[in-house]
Amino acid sequence: MNKYAIVLLIWWLGGSSCSTGPGKGNSEPAALSQKITAAGVNEWIDTDFLASLSSAGVLAAAGQIGLDIDKYLKPLAQRVDHNYRRYRWSVGYHEGGGIMISALPPEEESGWTPWERWYKDDQGITRKESWVLYPLIDPTEKGVARWYKIEEDDLYPRNLNKPATLQEQLRRERIYDAAKVLDFDAEEVLIAPLSAKAKTYYQQCRWVVIPHILGGDGPVIYILPPMDHSDEWPWESWYTDGKVKLIHHVHFTKDNKLTKGSWKEFPGAPQRPPEIFGVVWYWYDDKTLKPAMADFQ
């Protein structure tokens, strides 16, 4: 491990520590340590996540490319409301030959959720890029899918800071892009029916696009709430099977009067979000297509 990375990790983890956890859910870190800052403020740090970044060479590489670790990476170890712990972090080389940090999303999301990269350009300026595959743009005659760059205007990890509005969240998670592929108006179907409190509720959920073989490998739009409330707060999906133009399924962990069937997805199943693994879900087919919690008061 690079000396810079070792010193930095020791500095972050200095002070008394204890093992704890913020609650249930797949996004919570395996271990947290408490650090008492100079100002006497308690600061929680995910030591396992920091250790994984350090062992991958990410902290040392950040120093080399001029990426402010305290500003852009450290907050990822202090918060649990993001999915970056499931990303594959690595260090490689940019096409210009310089060191590059990569954050590759989980396999099931790859191509829709952006692959994020940090590097220093030829002028010595630290840059951030995000690349996606889908929807396909300019496929070659040989059938090769090309990654293409999407617009970025700062160095922050895309999912670190919470969007101010639900519309901004849907744009960031590429829900509008997926809706175009599925041929429906995301604003009309997903936003317009919502009460004010429903908008607040859906901002607390994880929105993600994952392709699935049952949808002809087309996109499936998922809304995933905190899973410790899944008796009352459902996870939802919108997709097409090629026969029905648009399907909206709603899933609870508690049987209810709308239930049409039940099923269980086993751990490790491909093309599925991990939040839904290992639980019996009671689902129904919603013909109205509007979000299940649209009338939330």
E-strand spans in the chain?
A: 33-36, 42-45, 88-93, 99-104, 115-120, 126-132, 148-150, 206-212, 218-224, 235-239, 247-252, 261-264, 280-285
Which pLDDT tens digits describe the chain residue by residue (297 residues)?
444 455 455 545 443 333 333 333 444 444 545 443 444 444 789 999 999 999 999 999 999 999 999 999 999 999 988 999 999 999 999 988 999 999 999 999 999 999 999 999 999 999 999 999 999 887 777 788 889 999 888 999 999 999 999 999 999 999 999 999 999 999 999 999 999 999 999 999 999 999 999 888 899 999 999 888 888 999 999 999 999 999 999 999 999 999 999 999 998 889 999 999 999 999 999 999 999 999 998
Which one of 150, 183, 210 terminates a domain? 150
Q: Are residues 119 and 232 in the same domain?
A: no
Give which of 161, 165, 153 is closest to 127, Cα–Cα. 153
Same domain flag for 237 and 102: no
pLDDT of residue 80: 87
pLDDT at position 183 is 96
Per-residue confidence (pLDDT) for residue 81, from 0 to 100: 87
Determine the angle formed by the axes of helices 47-55 and 3-13, rounding to 10 degrees: 180
Asked whether residue 144 falls in the same domain as residue 203, the answer is: no
Give the count of alpha carbons within 13 A of 39, CB side only. 3
The DSSP secondary-structure symbol of 265 reads: B
Segments forming the whole domain that contains residue 250: 166-285
Comparing CA positions, the residue from 223, 208, 217, 199 lying closest to residue 289 is 223
Residue 290 lies in a domain: no
Angle, CA 262 vertex, CA 259 and CA 265 arms, to 5°: 140
| Maximal CA-CA distance, the chain | 63
What angle do helix axes 58-65 and 47-55 make, rounded to 10 degrees?
70
Residue 173 inside a domain? The answer is: yes
Query: Which tokens sit at 214?
Result: 């049952």
> Does residue 142 belong to any structural domain of this protein?
yes
| Structural domain ending residue among the three candidates 115, 150, 185 | 150
Residues 6+ apart with CB under 8 A from 297: 195, 197
Whether 144 and 37 share a structural domain:
yes
Specify if 158 maps to a domain: no
Strands, DSSP E only, in 144-297?
Answer: 148-150, 206-212, 218-224, 235-239, 247-252, 261-264, 280-285
Q: Give dist(CA 159, CA 156) in Å, integer.
A: 8
Is residue 190 one of the residues assigned to a domain? Answer: yes
Q: Are residues 143 and 48 in the same domain?
A: yes
User: Is the same domain home to 249 and 281?
Assistant: yes
Assign 245 to helix, strand or coil. coil
Q: Give the end of a domain, one of 105, 124, 150.
A: 150
Looking at the structure, do residues 182 and 48 belong to the same domain, yes or no? no
State both tokens at 233: 């707060």
- Do 90 and 21 share a structural domain? yes
218 in a structural domain: yes
Number of domains in the chain: 2
* DSSP codes, 46-65: -HHHHHHHHHTTHHHHHHHH
Stated as kind and residue range, the H or E segment containing 71 is: helix 69-72
Q: Quick one: 114 and 89 in the same domain? A: yes
In this structure, the answer to whether residues 86 and 180 fall within a common structural domain is no
Q: Are residues 183 and 105 in the same domain?
A: no
Buried-exposed string 162-200: b where 16+ CB fall within 10 A, e elsewhere: eeeebbebbebbbbebbbebbebebeebbbeebeeebbe
Residue 8 within any structural domain of the chain: yes
Beta strand spans in 64-215 (E)? 88-93, 99-104, 115-120, 126-132, 148-150, 206-212
Amino acid at 249: H
Q: Which residue in this structure is represented by tokens 């800071």?
A: 161
Can you name the residues that pair with 27 across neighbouring β-strands?
none
Q: Are residues 9 and 138 in the same domain?
A: yes
User: Which of 239, 227, 229, 226 lies closest to 271, judged by CA?
Assistant: 239
Domain assignment present for residue 56? The answer is yes
Q: Which residues 6+ apart lie within 8 Å of 134 measured at CB?
A: 111, 112, 145, 177, 181, 211, 219
Specify the 3-state DSSP secondary structure of 197: helix
Backbone torsions φ then ψ of 70, nearest 5 degrees: -60, -35
